[in-house]
Structures are given as structure tokens and as C-alpha cells.
Amino acid sequence: MKILVCLKQVPHQDARLDVNGDGTWIKEDGIKFEINSYDTYALEEALRIKDAGEAEVVVASIGPDRVTQALRTALGMGADRAVHVNDAACQGSDALGIAKTLAAIAKEESPDLILMGLMSDDGNASAVPPMVAELVGMPSATAVVATERSEGNIRVERELEGGAVEVVDVPTPCLLAVQSGLNQVRYASLKGIMAAKKKPLDVKTAADLGVADAVGTAGAKVKIEKIYQPLRGEGAEILSGSTDEIVSSLMNKIKELGLL
Amino acid sequence: MSILIVTEIQKGAIREASYELVAFAQKMGVEYASLVIGSGIDGLASEFGGKGGGKTFVADDASLENYNVDGYSAAIQAAVAASGASMVLISNTPSGWDVAPRVAAALDAGFVSDVFDYQDGNFVRRVFNGKLDAQVSSSGSATVVSVQPGAIAAFEGTTDGSTETVSVDTSGARARFVEIKLADAKGVDLSKAEVIVSGGRGVGDPEKFAEVIQPLADALGGAMGASRPVVDAGWLPHEYQVGSSGQVVTPKLYIACGISGAIQHLVGMKGSNFIVAINKDADAPIFEFAQLGVVGDLFEVVPALTAAIAAAKG
């Protein structure tokens, strides 16, 4: 069995976000990056299947040199092989361009299962996974919070609103986009990190994958025109002063609300 | 350009979010038609047509009674072809986000997701978990747009409506609906609490919930809640989760400690009567929704507040 896990490297959730010079993205210089949180659950799910029997886990990611670190981390956690699309031409791709690139990798790899995170912590779009499934002709399910594998089928629970779930039978090969909290994600062990250095990491370009026309700003149908701090509206009255002064203000409010 | 509005049936009725799509299409000032998908839905479709939907396509098939991604994708594509629409509007709900990107890829269309407004010809959406907004444009022959439920007031008027059947071939459907399981009865019912003290990722570790957050909740005679990352990390069980996938709460007082304020959490608590946010990051989106904010260390402020309440009670 072969499992393809598609990862995105995103700014660390605690990174300070400043808008870049032309106002279309954030300044990436000097901030820390990490594997997209949703994707870590997808990787963990793949590694659990590998731990339970015979599976090869291939991780794929698109992005500049820094993405090597994310892929090495994934290899350190237990993935077997990595594919890195490192091509400046991919910068500014929209979701469909990214999906076409990942679909091209999927067609080369012919996995039995593709696992991805439901969305990314930067773009928050939940766009790419079902697109990849459509492009490679696989059935798909999103917001997966539980899985149960049997021959030729994965029974999944999809998260609905208010804590309800929808149970769906998805025949394999298929693509699942997993919700956060699906499992408890492992850390890479020191031994794993050492072993990861010897694992194969293929570097490809968009042209290698035959998707040069689909990627980059030239290939994008959807473009970010500007990015900015949200208009904060009224917002909170920020209490200042010493801890005692702050507590005293909060106490007044609690009394005013009739809660004390 | 014209729009196809894809409605959604929930508990036997067209859900509110579908009427919000009507308002969104009208805000864009573009001609639109609508689509109702399900089984035995002629009545719902003609009702929707008269209450904002206008010309309404009906994809009615026994195989469409429950949501399934392949059948719904086929229905939407058939209605796009029948209507000649170059834009699809769909709600960003669990079925919307499941099917919309598939439709976009099938149509080779741009996809703009979880939009909450339309300004200056651009779609407006949140990025970076609510920390920044983006204005996004789409070009090309077709675009699929998903709209955040609750972002825009629903259309409430009447329109001239008509219905037209669209035939759908669902024989190629692969993923199969089995059942819907409702949420288990809550061990922790936050809906009746007058005060909720919630903790987020900023609380740091599970023990701190017992040491810092729970005592303040107890002192105020309230309940403890949590944001999604806390539950995902296994620090607290799901029954404590406040948010779109947890409990929706409306206490008199909501105190958010170390919670940044991702959309999924805000949806669950923004109806609270009074919100206090304590967070070390001054840019945290939670401050947009709070009435009182403390930019500082929750481990200083919260225990001091707990002590002050205890002292006041004598």
C-alpha cells in the first residue's frame, strides 16, 4: 500500500505577521515556519497505517528552499520518501494551480490513499484537497474526524455543525482531507531525524510535472489584490495599569453585571 | 455574467444561509438563478423561487436525498450547464466545502472560499486564522465562490419565481452516505451557564486549566470552556469546546483567556452578553469581539482576579 501525504509549510502560528511592500502577502523574512497544523494530523494518520502493517508513506510539498525543513521533519517522523516541488515559477499560484501540481505528483505515484489537511493555517481556503481528488478521478471526503479501514473501503466520519457527524463509505483509492484533532501527532525522535538524512528527497519543477502553464501568477485565476489588518470596529476597551488596577476594573464590571 | 445560487436543505427546509446567498448575489448586482438539490423537493423549490430564488432549477432524485459529494457535484454541474451561469455561489458549510472545490476543478474554474463580503469588485475573506483580511479577484471563464454563513443578512422579500427540472446522472457516485450521528448528550452543558471562563492554546498545558482557569470559573459560579486547539491537543474533552463544532454559548459574562479568536471559536461565543479577553498578543482577533481587553499575562491577571472575588465574597 502506498500513501501520499501532501503538506504545506506555513508561517508559525505565533509568528508576527506584517504586510509586505506591495500589500499582497506577508513579509516572510525572519519569521519561523512550520508544517501546517491540519497536515500534521494527515501525516500522523498515514504513519499509523504504516505502523499497523505494510505501507510506504510519500510526502510531497510545494515551495522554496525552506520547505526542505518541513519535508525532513516529516521524514524524521517516519515518512519514507519526499517530493519537493521547488520552483520560483510556482510563486503566486492559486489553489487550482497547486492542486494541478499535486495531482501531477499523484498521477506519477499512483497512491492507494491520499491524505491532506482540511485547510491551511495561512490561506484558510479548504480548497486544494477536493480539487486534487477531482483532477485524479478519486472519491473524496473532507473534515474527516474518524476512519475505519476495510478491504477496498474506508468508512469515515465527517464533522458537521454542532458536534454531529456524517458517516460516509469512501471506496479506495481515495483522498481524505482530515480535520484537526483526528489523532495525537507524534514528534520526530532524534533517531528518526538522523535516519531522515539518508531518506530520498526528490526535487522537481513545474515543468518536470507538465504543469508549467497552470502555476504562478500567470496561471492563477484567483489573485490576492490586497491584504490588510481587519477593520477592528469598536473593539475592546483595553485596560491598562498594574495588575491590581486591572483586577479592580474587572471586579467593577463583574459587580455591574450583577454576578457578585 | 450570471450566477447560480446553490441552496442547501437542512431539516426539511431551505436553510437560512441560502437566503444569505440571495442577498450576496443582489449585492453583487448580477443576474442569478438558483438550484435546489434533494428528493421530493418540488414544493421547497417553488417556495424558494418566490422568496428570493427567482428562476430555480430542481435536481430531484432519490439518490440525492442525503448529501453525497459525487451526486451533488453532478447536480451543480448540470445546473451550471442548463443556466449558462459563469459563477457559482454556495454556502461554506460542511457540504459546501466538501463539494465546491470539486466543482471548481471540474469546471477549471477559480475558487474563492469562505467569503464574507464583496467590496470594489473583489471578494473579501479572512486569512491567517482571522489575523488578516484579503481582497481577492477572480478572472477566467468561471468562478466558484463559497460564502461564510451568517456573514451577510438574509434576503427576506419576495420575487417572481419559476422552476425548471434539471436531469442529473448520479450513476457514477462513489462515496456513499451511511448515516448522520447526532452529538452525544453533553456531560458539560455550557448553554445554561451565566459565566464561562474559557482557555485557549495560550494556557499552555492541561494542568494549568485545573490550576488557573477552573478556579476562576468556580469563584464566579460559572463553567469552564475551551477553544478547539485545547481539545485537539487532548488537554480537555470535546464537551468543553466552545465554537462552531462545539457548543454555541450566550452567557452573561464570557472570559476568554489565551484565546486568539479564530472564526470557529468566535461563532460559538460572540452572542455572549459581555466578553472579556485576556491575551498577551495585542493583535489577537478576540479583542475585536470583546468589550474589555487585557493585553498581558493571564497567569498574573486570572489568579489575582480569582483571589479578589474570593475576598469580596468574604
Residue A162 predicted with pLDDT over 90: no
Q: How near does any CA of chain A get to the CA of B99, in Å? A: 7
A118 Cβ contact list (under 8 Å, min separation 6): A38, A126, A129, A142, A143, A144, A177, A178, A179, A180
Please count the residues of chain A.
260
Point out which residues pair with A131 in neighbouring strands. Answer: none
The conformation of residue A259, written as its DSSP 8-state character, comes to -
Residue range A52-107, pLDDT digits in tens = 998 999 999 999 999 999 999 999 999 999 999 999 999 999 999 999 999 999 99
8 A C-beta contact, residue B274 and residue A253: yes
The answer regarding whether domain A2-219 maps to CATH 3.40.50.620 reads: yes
Residue A139 scores a pLDDT above 90? yes
By C-alpha distance, which of A79, A50, B244 is closest to A71? A79
Check if A223 contacts B (Cβ < 8 Å): yes
Question: By CB neighbour count within 10 A (0-12 exposed, 13-18 middle, 19+ buried), where does B178 fall?
Answer: middle
- pLDDT, chain A, mean: 95
CB contact under 8 A, B176 and A162: no
User: Which chain B residues are closer than 8 Å to A163 by Cβ?
Assistant: 182-184, 238, 245-247
**Residue-level pLDDT at A232:** 62
Contact: A222, B246; criterion CB under 8 Å: no
Nearest to A142 among B97, B110, B290 (CB): B97
Closest CB from B113, B238, B309 relative to A127: B113
CA distance B261 to chain A (A): 13
Whether chain A has a CB inside 8 Å of the CB on B163: the answer is no
The alpha-carbon gap from A42 to the nearest alpha carbon of chain B, in Å, equals 14
A153 interfaces chain B, CB cutoff of 8 Å: no
Cβ separation B133–A229 shorter than 8 A:
yes
Average pLDDT estimate for B99-105: 98
Nearest of B294, B307, B266, B273 to residue B195 by alpha carbon = B273
- Do B224 and B197 touch, CB atoms closer than 8 A? yes
Sorted by sequence, the CB contacts under 8 Å of residue A79 that are 6+ apart come out as A5, A43, A46, A47, A57, A58, A59, A199
pLDDT class of A23 with cuts at 50, 70, 90: very high
Partner B contacted by A11 (CB < 8 A): yes
Where in chain A are the domains? 2-219
Query: What pLDDT score was predicted for residue B181?
Result: 93
Specify the pLDDT at position B96: 98
CB contact under 8 A, B234 and A123: no
Question: Which residue among A180, A226, A251 sits closest to B232, beta carbon to beta carbon?
Answer: A180
CA-to-CA separations, A6 to A41, A62, A68, A212, B113, in angstroms, rounded: 11, 9, 14, 19, 20
- Please report which confidence band the pLDDT of residue A146 belongs to, taking 50, 70 and 90 as the band edges: very high
> Residue A203: its pLDDT value, please?
98
Q: Which of B139, B73, B74 is nearest to B112 (CA)?
A: B139
Q: Which of helix, strand or coil describes residue A53? A: coil
Across the beta sheet with B32-38, what order do the strands follow? A222-228, B132-138, B122-127, B110-119, B143-147, B87-91, B3-6, B32-38, B55-60, B162-165
The residue-averaged pLDDT of B41-60 equals: 98
- A137 and chain B in contact, CB less than 8 A: no
CA distance A129 to chain B (A): 8
The answer to whether residue B302 neighbours chain A at the CB level (below 8 Å) is no
Task: Report, in angstroms and rounded to the nearest whole number, the Rg of chain B calculated over CA atoms.
Answer: 22
Question: Is the Cβ–Cβ distance between A122 and A12 less than 8 Å?
Answer: no
SS3 A13: coil
- Position B188 scores a pLDDT of 78
**Tens digit of each residue's pLDDT (9 = 90 or more) over B246-277:** 889 999 999 999 999 988 899 899 999 999 99
Question: Which residues of A are less than 8 Å from B99 in CB distance?
Answer: 130
Residues with Cβ within 8 Å of A244's Cβ and at least 6 positions away in sequence, in order, are B304
Average pLDDT, chain B: 95
Q: What is the mean pLDDT of residues B58-72?
A: 97
* pLDDT number for residue B189: 81
pLDDT tens-digit series, residues B137-179: 999 899 999 999 999 999 999 999 999 999 999 999 999 999 9
Instruction: Tell me the C-alpha distance between A140 and A130, whole Å.
Output: 6
Task: Note the pLDDT tens digit of each residue in A205-248.
Answer: 999 999 999 999 999 999 999 999 887 667 889 999 999 999 99
DSSP SS3 for A95: helix
Nearest-CA residue of chain A relative to B113? Answer: A125
A243 to chain B, closest Cα gap in Å: 6
Written as nine digits, the cell of A37 is: 497544523
Helices then strands, counting H and E runs in chain A, come out as 7, 13
The candidate with the shortest Cα–Cα distance to B310, out of B216, B182, B203, B181, is B216
Contact A141 B98 (CB under 8 A): yes
Binding-face residues of B in 191-220 toward A, CB within 8 A:
194-195, 201, 220
Q: A102, A168, A232: which to substitute to probe chain B, counting the most B Cβ within 10 Å?
A: A168
Structural contact between residues B91 and B146, judged by C-beta atoms closer than 8 angstroms: yes
The SS3 assignment for A8 reads coil
Cβ of B183 and A163 within 8 Å?
Answer: yes
Give me the DSSP letters along chain B.
Answer: --EEEE--EETTEE-HHHHHHHHHHHHHT--EEEEEEESS-HHHHHHHIIIII-EEEEEE-GGGSS--HHHHHHHHHHHHHHHT-SEEEEE-STTHHHHHHHHHHHHT-EEEEEEEEEETTEEEEEEGGGTEEEEEEE-SS-EEEEE-TTSSPPP-S----EEEE-----TT--SEEEEEEPPPPPSS-GGG-SEEEEE-GGG-SHHHIIIIIHHHHHHTT-EEEE-HHHHHTTSS-GGGBBSTTSB----SEEEEES----HHHHHHHTT-SEEEEEES-TT-THHHH-SEEEES-HHHHHHHHHHHHHHHH-
Mutual angle of helices B298-313 and A243-256, in 10-degree steps: 50
> Residue B185: its pLDDT value, please?
63
Given CB atoms, is B81 within the 8 Å cutoff of chain A?
no
